[in-house]
Every structure is written in structure tokens, then in C-alpha cells.
Amino acid sequence: MISYHRLEVSGLSIFYREAGDPNLPTMVLLHGFPSASHMFRDLMPLLSDRFHLIALDYPGFGQSSMPDHQEFSYTFEHLAAVTTEFLAKLELTDFYLYVFDYGAPIGFMIAMAHPQWIRGIISQNGNIYQAGLGEKWATRRDFWEHPTAAKRASYRSAFAPETIKGQYLTGTPANSVSPDGYTLDIAYTQRPNYVENQLDLIFDYQNNIKKYPRFQAYLRQYQPKLLAVWGKNDPSFIYPGALAFKQDVPDAVVKLVDSGHFALESNSVEIAALIKATF
């Protein structure tokens, strides 16, 4: 059973899902773009016999508050700070960390600041290596290094329905992905302030890449138990990013699944089994 809650954090209403017995080991699940905690709707019931599960929507995503970007700084460091306060308010200071896409830089910033909180890490297409950046990132580097209003506006295409559907379907076997996830993500793009807020995050992503060496140093120092499970056909975060984890955590378990970016949508049962076998 999944229950649904809200918590006030820094004057924001943060929505989150909870499943499993609180006496079990906790797992915090951090979603990616363009999704929200609903991406874990199939996985959480599969893990609730072994874990206490918490999945929140960041500010500007899903059901959480979505202040205008002129009133709220949409940077990954700020999202990590809000998430840290959220965890502290729930007294969650000992947990497994599941990171996907945008959740990777947010989660690794939290892990670096509070290494004692982390029991282990599951990275599902959650990249922290140059080797994991696909071809599209060259265009983004040009935007970051030579920003213009026209280049910023061009990224509005990231929120088009067909682009969002492509995030789910590209590289994934035909007829294996329910339309529920991408339909809801498309609906969320219609919330006030969504597009400009998200464009700020696209521009700020460059700062995550600059932190990659620090994320990798954290892994080398603390050697957390780590599972990297990856949609091997992901064009955004390519599978060498999964293999690279073993450079820093030699005992990491790496598994490539037949899917694209949103591997969880068609591989929840397999991923749940891998998590239970690893942790």
C-alpha cells in the first residue's frame, strides 16, 4: 500500500509517497526529468516487503509547490538543500538512496554532505561520469558556454509532448511501456511557471558536470554498496556511464537492461529483484 502526504519545507508544500513498514530499512527514491515521484508507482509495491520507501516531488515538479523562477532559485544545489531539509524533518538519516537522472546530482550532493546517512546507492540511469554523456550534450555545452535568449528558447522543445514520449519510448521494446507515466508528465508541463523554471535547471545542469570529479571522489573514499542498473539504449545517459562506476567502486554491481532512459517503466520487476539481491 502506498500512502500520500505533504510536508512544509522552507515555506513550500512538498508532496511525497510512502510505502512499507517504517521499522524496515528506509530507501529514499529521487526522481528525474520530466517526471516526479509517480515514476516509482510500480516499483514501490514490489519493494515494500523489504524496505520503508519515501519518494518526494522536488519543488517545481509533480504535486509539489511550483514557485516562479523569479521567486525561487531553480538550481540543483537548491533542490538538494530542500531535499536535505525534507529528509531532516522526517528524521531520515540512515537510508538506501535510489537516484535516477536529475536525482543523481541531487542525491550525490546529499551523500557528499552526509556520508553517514547512506547505506547504499542504486543508480538507475543516474549519471556522474563524462563517459555517460551522449551526443546531445555537445549542443548543451554550446548553450552553456555561449548562452543566448534564442538558444534558451530552443530548449522549450524539451517539454513538447512528443519529446517527453520519446524519453520513455526511445530504445525500449515496442508495446512495453504504459502511457500512464508520460501522459501525466505531459499534463504537469501545463502547470503555471513550469517551462521557465525548467529552462533554468537545464542551464544549471552544467554545474552538475563540474561536480562529477567530487562525486567520484566520494565513491572512492566511502565505497558505498552500489548497484548501477541502466537502460542500455538510453541516448541521453549512455551505458558507459554505468560501467564507469566500477572504476571507483570495484565491487559495484552493474546490470544493463533492454530499455531506454526510463528503464523502470518496463523493467520494474527485474529492477526490484536486482535491488533485493544486492541489498
Q: Which positions are annotated as active-site residues?
A: 261
- Beta carbons of 214 and 112 less than 8 angstroms apart: yes
C-alpha span between 183 and 132 (Å, rounded): 27
Strands 12-19 and 2-9: antiparallel
C-alpha span between 160 and 190 (Å, rounded): 11
Residue 62 φ/ψ region, left for φ over 0, alpha for ψ in the -120 to 50 degree band, beta for the rest: left
- Beta carbons of 256 and 239 less than 8 angstroms apart: yes
**Kind plus residue range of the DSSP H or E element containing 216:** helix 194-222
- Beta carbons of 124 and 229 less than 8 angstroms apart: yes
- Beta carbons of 58 and 64 less than 8 angstroms apart: yes
